[in-house]
Copies of this chain bind each other. A is one copy, B any other.
Amino acid sequence: MPLIEPRTLKGFRDYAPALMIPRERVLQTARAVYRSFGFAPMDTPALEYAEVLLGKGGEESDKLVYRFRDHGDRDVALRFDLTVPFARFAAQYVPQLGTPFKRYAMGPVWRGENTAAGRYREFAQCDFDTIGTTANAADAEVVLVVNALFEALELGDFTIRVNNRLVLNGLLESLGVLDKPVPLLRALDKLLKMGRDKVVEEMQREAGVTAEQAARVLTLAEAEGSNADKLTRVESLCGGNPKAAEGVARLRELLAVAAAGGVPDGRVRLDLSIARGLDYYTGTIYETFLTALPGIGSVCSGGRYDNLAGLYTKQVLPGVGASLGVDRLLTAMEELKHPWLAGLTTTAPVLVLQFPGASLVECVTLATELRRANVGCELYPDGAKLGKQFQYAEKRGHTLAVFAGPEELSAGVVKVKNLAARTEVGVPRGELVATVTAELARAKP
């Protein structure tokens, strides 16, 4: 039989250990942070009725969905995000589960997108949300979660940009152009990319506003100075508009909570130019930028919405949340030569070698002792030449090698080699665990 070519589909990738180890670490870090704020895990199926998933993001995005007929001729589709299935879930279960309902979800989603821009057709999302409450405490908490998450990810400095759609809507209302928010905000979102003049042009052309109105929208978006200065500016520009006033009040409280929650000064920045899409978000908006890599865009974004599950239930479920782009983040970590991606391909710090001719039972006894002391410990499976076993240990990134030849064994001694420092000590058999534990503690970066 001819061989089948071993290959993956375009836009899909394998995660070999060197990439999967840091990926699991990122997910585990997110899990621990989300849990420390009381978010609970949930999951939904990868496959759903197409009618449940489709028609939410416009025809353009529907085209990207993997959709087919299953064995029972049902019209089914693979989830393209974690939000739409969460909305369906919430409609079904939140009446029993009660509110507030705080959840996180992490898992793959699928989009048949153009892969030109280094995008993958399968990628992981990692979301958290609080639903069933309009309380600003939940909005402010998002900032605390994002702050804790990125501190734990050891990615260096970062900025959490916040805005509130109420402020944007209030401004548009006070300008008398609230009937045309969509083209205006769409143009505003392009400010960084296109520059001021082209945005003004687009606003005039697409939203039919005057140059002066466009300029006022941009004045707000371009407001400089401290967060407090910007809020004062909003108040003067929007002249007592109640929507804008509510947005300002919520942003002020969010900033105070961020400070109380230990977020360093300057890390949260009001950015009145971010609008984040057009229909879904209705209140606070978040984006997160790495100081070392601003070019890759926001690595964690989200916002407040008025009603999560309106397509499936009459129960109104307001909420707020954000999503970590796990695979974009991994790309960033690769670019930044993040220490988590140092190419380590082992999960156990110690390799127990099998001295050629040594008894397997003896080697297993050593390894078992170490594991009982909570030291991760791999056993080389056979008595290959020691050089080969050491090579394996170095390639995989073990920290220590433990071994005992017949001479050592009869003298009641075990050898512990630090593979990076290339130092080797012989220790009495009874001191193995203590020596290994001490060596590992010393070797930690």
Contacts and interface: CB of A to CB of B under 8 A. Distances in A.
Copies of the chain in the assembly: 2
A210 interface: no
A344 to B, nearest CB: 9
A36 B110 contact: no
Nearest to A39: B347
Given A45-B13, A361-B256, A361-B260, A137 B38 contact: no
A419 interface: no
Interface stretch (A171-179, A188-196, A266-274, A363-371): A363-371
Contacts of A64: 71
Given A371-B36, A377-B38, A313 B24 contact: no
Contact of A45 (B5, B9, B47, B261): B9
A3 B93 CA distance: 16
B141 A36 contact: no
A36 B376 CA distance: 4
A122 B12 CA distance: 20
Contact of A257 (B13, B260, B361): B361
A429 interface: no
Given A14-B92, A140-B360, A378-B38, A260 B348 contact: no
B133 A345 contact: no
Interface string A63-76: 11010111110101
Looking at A7, A354, A365, which has the most chain B CB atoms within 10 Å of its CB?
A7
A360 B20 CA distance: 40
A296 B277 CA distance: 50
Given A360-B257, A364-B257, A102 B7 contact: no
Q: How big is chain A's contact interface, by range?
A: 35 or more
Given A38-B347, A40-B21, A100-B381, A9 B48 contact: yes
A311 B6 CA distance: 9
A22 B260 CA distance: 33
Interface in A116-163: 122, 130, 133, 135-138, 140-141, 144, 148
A213 to B, nearest CB: 33
Interface string A24-57: 1000000100111111111111111101100000
A38 B346 contact: yes
A280 interface: no
A321 to B, nearest CB: 13
Contacts of A3: 311-314
Contact of A345 (B5, B6, B15, B40): B40
Contacts of A37: 348, 371, 376-379
A444 interface: no
A136 B129 CA distance: 49
A6 B88 contact: yes
A441 interface: no
Contacts of A102: 378
Contacts of A208: none
A89 B17 CA distance: 12
Nearest to A350: B38
Given A43-B14, A45-B12, A144 B368 contact: yes
Contacts of A93: 14, 16
A347 B46 contact: no
Given A4-B52, A137-B360, 13 more contacts: A3-B314, A8-B45, A9-B49, A9-B70, A17-B103, A20-B42, A35-B347, A37-B378, A47-B122, A133-B381, A137-B363, A141-B379, A262-B368
Interface of A: 1, 3-10, 12-17, 20-21, 23-24, 31, 34-49, 51-52, 63-64, 66, 68-72, 74, 76, 78, 88-89, 91-93, 97-98, 100, 102-103, 108, 110, 112, 122, 130, 133, 135-138, 140-141, 144, 148, 253, 256-257, 260-262, 309, 311-314, 345-348, 351, 354, 360-365, 367-368, 371-372, 374, 376-382, 392, 395
23 contacts: A3-B311, A4-B311, A6-B88, A6-B91, A9-B48, A14-B42, A15-B41, A16-B42, A17-B40, A20-B43, A21-B40, A36-B374, A38-B346, A66-B68, A66-B70, A68-B69, A100-B380, A136-B360, A137-B360, A137-B381, A137-B382, A260-B368, A261-B368
